[in-house]
């Protein structure tokens, strides 16, 4: 089988997964198949998958969660397309997402495609962005709000199908998460991919979703490192680049993260991933990643003289 396989890993995010699948059903170039890995969900995820009749769907179910890397590997093993496009279960696909990634791989083999990763504002308190249902721990934040205001926070399947530009893109912003730091990181990553194609650390610009790679290259690299549960996409990209692949921007391939306040992990606070990453790749640029990110965060987490201002500067700091 040729074409693009979209691989989605998802755990306990049924309301968001429903919207993600709705966005994939409206692609200008339909994916050849959508592989969803239900990584040990205890919610209504099976019902959502059963209802997704418009897609060529392959479902992989894990009784016990395998983690981000393990779930993505399971999805890739079940996929049959020549190109794997990874997406998360809480991330909407822009109408041309599949088409843009397919065009990149058709024009330039051995590329690792990084799309435009944006977020949808005002969804962070909603367990179900379509119904306007809050997360239980945040119900008090919505209590007393007018129904019209809650409706403006929602994203529905009907809006995705008929009014995507206004209802989703029109309220979205660059960066996977909200805030100055995530937006600045996104801008620096895309700038490096666009203006510094020979930068030695472009693997650090890989994204956790909206990332595409030829299946042959993915298999040759051995897939994701199952022992890394944060920045596993960067570790994979490092190995892909080492075997001759090149990172490439796909600036018109938009994805939109539905913000949430439950399950979010701060890679600067929870650094267990870094020890595993650095043990597999004892490189100075790996250890310098947190300093680069921290220097972009709000506040004075890194003294001005020690900040790393860009990916080319990260490469230079590693050489030094």
The share of the chain scoring above pLDDT 90, in percent, equals 86
CA–CA dist 22, 92 (Å, integer): 8
Neighbouring residues of 10: CB distance < 8 A, sequence distance ≥ 6: 17, 20, 36, 37, 38, 39, 41, 45, 88, 89, 90
CA–CA dist 162, 166 (Å, integer): 10
Task: Fold for 4-121+172-267, please state it.
Answer: Spore Coat Polysaccharide Biosynthesis Protein SpsA; Chain A (3.90.550)
Please, are residues 90 and 120 in contact by the beta-carbon 8 Å criterion? no
Please, are residues 314 and 204 in contact by the beta-carbon 8 Å criterion? yes
CA–CA dist 271, 265 (Å, integer): 10
Residue 8 confidence (pLDDT) above 60: yes
Give 23-77 pLDDT, tens digit per residue. 999 999 999 999 999 999 999 999 999 999 889 999 999 999 999 999 999 999 9
Residue 171 confidence (pLDDT) above 60: yes
Give 242-282 pLDDT, tens digit per residue. 999 999 999 999 999 999 866 556 677 777 899 999 999 99
pLDDT band at 130, cuts 50/70/90?
very high
CA–CA dist 289, 205 (Å, integer): 11
Please, are residues 264 and 215 in contact by the beta-carbon 8 Å criterion? no
Neighbouring residues of 30: CB distance < 8 A, sequence distance ≥ 6: 98
């Amino acid at each position: 089988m040729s074409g693009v396989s979209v691989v989605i890993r998802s755990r306990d995010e049924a309301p968001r997964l429903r919207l993600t699948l709705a966005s994939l059903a409206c692609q200008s170039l339909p994916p050849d198949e959508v592989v969803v890995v239900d990584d040990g969900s205890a919610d209504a995820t099976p019902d959502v998958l059963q209802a997704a009749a418009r897609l060529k769907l392959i479902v992989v179910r894990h009784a016990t969660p395998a983690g981000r890397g393990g779930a993505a590997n399971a999805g890739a093993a079940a996929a049959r397309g020549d190109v794997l496009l990874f997406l998360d279960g809480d991330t909407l696909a822009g109408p041309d997402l599949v088409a843009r990634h397919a065009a990149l791989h058709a024009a330039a083999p051995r590329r690792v495609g990084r799309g435009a990763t944006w977020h949808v504002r005002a969804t962070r308190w909603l367990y179900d962005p379509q119904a306007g249902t809050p997360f239980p721990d945040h119900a008090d934040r919505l209590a007393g709000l007018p129904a019209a205001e809650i409706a403006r926070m929602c994203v529905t399947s009907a809006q995705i199908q008929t009014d995507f530009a206004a209802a989703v893109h029109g309220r979205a912003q660059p960066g996977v998460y909200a805030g100055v730091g995530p937006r600045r990181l996104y801008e620096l990553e895309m700038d490096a991919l666009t203006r510094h194609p020979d930068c030695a650390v472009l693997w650090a610009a890989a994204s956790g979703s909206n990332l595409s790679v030829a299946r042959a290259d993915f298999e040759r690299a051995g897939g994701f490192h199952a022992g890394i549960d944060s920045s596993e996409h960067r570790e994979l990209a490092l190995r892909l680049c080492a075997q001759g692949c090149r990172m490439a921007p796909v600036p018109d391939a938009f994805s939109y993260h539905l913000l949430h306040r439950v399950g979010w992990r701060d890679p600067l606070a929870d650094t267990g991933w870094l020890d595993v990453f650095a043990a597999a790749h004892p490189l100075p640029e790996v250890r310098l990643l947190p300093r680069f990110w921290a220097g972009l965060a709000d506040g004075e987490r890194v003294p001005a003289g020690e900040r790393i201002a860009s990916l080319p500067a990260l490469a230079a700091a590693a050489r030094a």
